[in-house]
């Protein structure tokens, strides 16, 4: 499987069904795991998909509706029982502390790790987390309460060294780092060997954008323009457009229209309303507008 | 199915597995539903078992460990979305309010019904709820935090009228209620017709006891003596007895020993530790001590 992929743990909406679980996803970049949203049942889905609990360090919560965060207390308890010691970072809109503090106080006395809350300003498109390999940005959305999507932007990887050339010029180890980052090499005789002759370019860095929950909101397009993969909610069909507007959700057509305008690589739609027995009707509506549309499904693993 | 039965929604313990869900049960007495415990995922299990959300009015929580109550916020939200208006009663040890208030404030503004908390004193065996057909009593247990089991005692039903005899004596309708409750009938001529000739006795009232989580605790025996069905936790095998003691849980042998001493009708064991791949080992341990032992399983419906 691709080094950078998305695992769908749940893609239902608020009302429980036997077809879908509440929202949660894992962004996996070379076995480093980031979670987006954590609806009720997320930890069981992790078990089902054999996702390693100890590889998870960052959880991003889009908004404080129950179907996007009621799995957090159970997951935190489980991480404690599994003996986790490293900090767990939760990036979420304000009020997360008001929600989690009573739970931690009542249920997690003596938790062997720290839960660190990072309050996200959902009104700004801004960098909210950065590590060696990934940058994560907030994307303001238009929902009933403060909500944001997330853009996961892989950092440009270093170039690959051409081992034969390194050996040929007998380049000392101490120069290799700089060369991977683009430097030329000057031999002891003063000959300059251009970087291009010493390296092969890295694969292009990829980007994934998650936008749920939101009404049709073209203001997000600049932030997600050209991403390799876009997850956009498609709670309703066009036939229920009035209901979509009223509840600040999108239709499948609207999700596809966003994907088309943003010129993304692929679109995956989810957050399906419990009212539709067959999700294919949603795909049928989106595909004429944006051909490369995939229906999210629990257990699915999508390369970015 | 029997008029009085138990539906097992979840019978696992704290760590998530793909074999079991967190603890929850429905006590069903003639389509009136009472819930015991509400672990994460309970509402989805209700959907799976086609249990009607609107028939549920009382929830009994044994103790405030997450695997027994982290499903409450989602269930309450769902009841709200389904348009419930009648009060929902939650009977639980103290601290439930501290847990639920922030959730209700943050996630359930404008909930169309009232959540009424009834604080249960887990140190007393006492009547905690009574309606026309059922009495529910607390049963003090011995766990790491204040915990109690619950005894569901069906009220004695009224006798059945023998229609032929009622017709024969031309007994006016206004006397029928008293006759069902045991009264004799005196004819206008002064002849006394004994109640026995006018009625057939009702089926005997039945009782169900739920005891989870608890260490081996024979002090519960008087409260559960002779119940038709006992659910007793059996988290561990005897081989892990030390761990059972340390965590205030029971072994399968201990659960069976309680059932034997209390002379119950049937025993159903549950709350299985995630460490056992095959629950049958627990049944094998219990059966020699108490033959009528059943392994709980998600989806199971047990007549009381």
Query: Nearest Cβ partner of B81 from A14, A48, A102?
Result: A14
Q: Which helix (H) or strand (E) holds A69?
A: helix A66-69
Residue of A nearest to B41 (CA): A41
In tens, the pLDDT along B82-114 reads: 999 999 999 999 999 999 999 999 999 899 999
In tens, the pLDDT along B282-298 reads: 999 999 999 999 999 99
Among A16, A61, A95, the strongest candidate for a mutation testing the B interface, having the largest count of B CBs within 10 A, is A16
Which DSSP string do the residues of A18-53 spell out, in sequence order?
SS-PPSEEEEEETTEEEEEEE-TTHHHHHHHTT--G
In tens, the pLDDT along B225-252 reads: 999 999 999 999 999 999 999 999 999 9
Select which of B31, B37, B67, B87 is catalytic. B67
| End-to-end alpha carbon distance in chain A | 10
Q: Answer whether A44 sits within 8 Å of B18, measured CB to CB.
A: yes
| Mean pLDDT of the residues in chain B | 96
Structural domains of chain B sorted by starting position, each given as residue range(s) with its CATH number in brackets: 4-156+205-303 (3.60.15.10), 160-200 (no CATH)
Does B1 have pLDDT greater than 60?
no
Residue numbers of chain A with a pLDDT score lower than 70: 1
- B67 contacts on A by Cβ (under 8 Å): 74, 77
Select which of A37, A67, A213, A279 is catalytic. A67
Tokens of A82: 């599994």
Q: Answer whether A15 sits within 8 Å of B81, measured CB to CB.
A: yes
Among A10, A21, A37, A41, the strongest candidate for a mutation testing the B interface, having the largest count of B CBs within 10 A, is A41
The predicted structure's pLDDT at residue B116 = 98
CA distance B277 to chain A (A): 14
Note if B67 is an active site residue: yes
Contacts of the segment A107-112: beta carbons below 8 A, 24+ positions apart: A107/A73, A107/A77, A107/B64, A107/B65, A107/B66, A107/B99, A108/A76, A108/A77, A108/A80, A111/A76, A111/A80, A112/A80, A112/A83, A112/A84, A112/A85
Q: Answer whether B81 sits within 8 Å of A21, measured CB to CB.
A: no
The predicted structure's pLDDT at residue B143 = 98
Does B191 have pLDDT greater than 60?
yes
- A73 contacts on B by Cβ (under 8 Å): 66, 70
Interface of B with A (CB under 8 A): 14-18, 21-22, 40-41, 43-44, 46-48, 64-67, 70-71, 73-74, 77-78, 81-82, 95, 98-99, 101-103, 106-107
Which DSSP string do the residues of chain B spell out, in sequence order?
--SEEEEEEE-B-SS--SS-PPSEEEEEETTEEEEEEE-TTHHHHHHHTT--GGGEEEEE-----HHHHTTHHHHHHHHHHTT--S-EEEEE-TTHHHHHHHHHHHH-TT-SS-EEEEE--TTS--EEEE-SSEEEEEEE--SSSS-EEEEEEEPPPPPEE-HHHHHHTT--GGGHHHHHTT--EE-TTSPEEPHHHHEEPPPPP-EEEEE-S--S-GGGHHHHTT-SEEEEE--B-GGGHHHHHHHT--BHHHHHHHHHHHT-SEEEEE-B-TT-S-THHHHHHHTTT-SSEEE--TT-EEE-
The Cα–Cα gap between B81 and B64 comes to 25
Among B20, B70, B249, the strongest candidate for a mutation testing the A interface, having the largest count of A CBs within 10 A, is B70
Residue of A nearest to B75 (CA): A16
Q: What is chain A's length?
A: 304
Regarding an ipTM greater than 0.90, the answer is yes
Query: Nearest Cβ partner of B41 from A15, A41, A102?
Result: A41
Does B73 have pLDDT greater than 60?
yes
Q: Answer whether B18 sits within 8 Å of A81, measured CB to CB.
A: no
In this structure, what DSSP letter does residue A146 have? Answer: S
Residue of A nearest to B98 (CA): A102
- B65 contacts on A by Cβ (under 8 Å): 107
CA distance A74 to chain B (A): 6
The Cα–Cα gap between A50 and B2 comes to 39
CA distance A263 to chain B (A): 36
């Amino acid at each position: 499987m691709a080094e950078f992929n998305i695992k769908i743990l749940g893609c239902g909406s608020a009302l429980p069904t036997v077809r879908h679980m509440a929202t949660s996803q894992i962004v996996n970049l070379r076995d480093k795991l980031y979670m987006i949203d954590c609806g009720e049942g997320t930890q069981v889905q992790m078990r089902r998909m054999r996702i390693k609990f100890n590889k998870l360090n960052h959880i991003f919560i889009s908004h404080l509706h129950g179907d996007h965060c009621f799995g957090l207390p159970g997951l935190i308890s489980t991480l404690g029982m599994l003996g986790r010691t490293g900090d767990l970072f939760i990036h979420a809109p304000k009020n997360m502390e008001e929600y989690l503090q009573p739970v931690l106080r009542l249920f997690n006395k003596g938790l062997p790790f720290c839960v660190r809350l990072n309050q996200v300003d959902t009104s700004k498109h801004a960098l909210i987390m950065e590590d060696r390999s990934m940058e994560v940005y907030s994307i303001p959305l238009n929902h009933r309460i403060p909500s944001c999507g997330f853009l996961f932007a892989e950092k440009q990887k270093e170039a690959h060294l051409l081992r034969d050339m390194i050996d040929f010029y007998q380049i000392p180890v101490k120069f290799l780092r700089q060369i991977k980052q683009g430097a030329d090499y000057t031999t002891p005789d003063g000959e300059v060997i251009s970087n291009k002759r010493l390296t092969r370019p890295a694969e292009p860095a990829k980007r994934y954008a998650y936008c749920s929950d939101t009404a049709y909101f073209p203001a997000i397009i600049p932030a997600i323009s050209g991403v390799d993969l876009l997850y956009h909610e498609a709670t309703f069909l066009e036939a229920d457009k009035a209901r979509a507007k009223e509840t600040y959700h999108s239709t499948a057509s609207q999700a596809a229209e966003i994907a088309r305008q943003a010129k993304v690589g692929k679109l995956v739609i989810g957050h399906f309303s419990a009212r539709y027995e067959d999700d294919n009707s949603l795909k049928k509506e989106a595909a004429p507008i944006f051909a490369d549309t995939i229906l999210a499904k629990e257990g699915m693993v999508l390369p970015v």
